[in-house]
Chains A and B, each alone.
Chain A
Amino acid sequence: MIDAWFFAVIVLAVLIVLSIVRLILGPTAPDRVVALDTVNTLTVASMILLGALYRQVIFIDVAIVYALLSFVSTLYIAKYLGGEM
Chain B
Amino acid sequence: MVVDLIFLIFLAIGLIFNTLGVIGILRFPDVFTRLHAETKTTTFGTIFLGLAVVVYGASHFFGTGDGQYIVLSVHTIIAVIALAFTNATGAHAIARAAHRSGQKPAEAVVDRLAEVNP
Q: Which residues of A approach B to under 8 Å, CB–CB?
A: 1, 4, 8, 11-12, 15, 18-19, 21-22, 28-31, 33-35, 37-38, 41-42, 44-45, 48-49, 51-52, 55, 57, 60-61, 63-64, 67-68, 70-71, 74-75, 77-84
Closest 6 pairs (CB-CB, A-B): A71-B86, A82-B97, A30-B98, A78-B93, A78-B97, A82-B100
In the complex, what distance in Å separates the CA atom of A22 from the CA atom of B42? 15
Chain A positions within 8 Å of B94 at CB level: 30, 33-34, 37, 74, 78
The binding surface of chain A is classed by DSSP as helix
Number of A-B pairs, beta carbon distance below 8 Å:
144
Most buried by A among B26, B71, B75, B90: B90
Chain B positions within 8 Å of A45 at CB level: 14, 18, 45-46, 49-50
Chain A positions within 8 Å of B93 at CB level: 74-75, 78-79
In the complex, what distance in Å separates the CA atom of A78 from the CA atom of B31? 13
Q: B46 to A41, Cβ gap below 8 A?
A: yes
Q: B101 to A8, Cβ gap below 8 A?
A: no
CB distance from A81 to the nearest CB of B (A): 4
In the complex, what distance in Å separates the CA atom of A67 from the CA atom of B34? 21
Q: B25 to A22, Cβ gap below 8 A?
A: yes
Q: A64 to B79, Cβ gap below 8 A?
A: yes
Chain A positions within 8 Å of B68 at CB level: 55, 57
Q: A51 to B96, Cβ gap below 8 A?
A: no
Chain B positions within 8 Å of A52 at CB level: 53, 56-57, 72, 76
Q: B22 to A19, Cβ gap below 8 A?
A: yes
Using A71-B86, A81-B97, A82-B96 as known contacts, say yes or no to A49 and B53 having CB atoms under 8 A apart. Answer: yes
Q: A11 to B79, Cβ gap below 8 A?
A: no
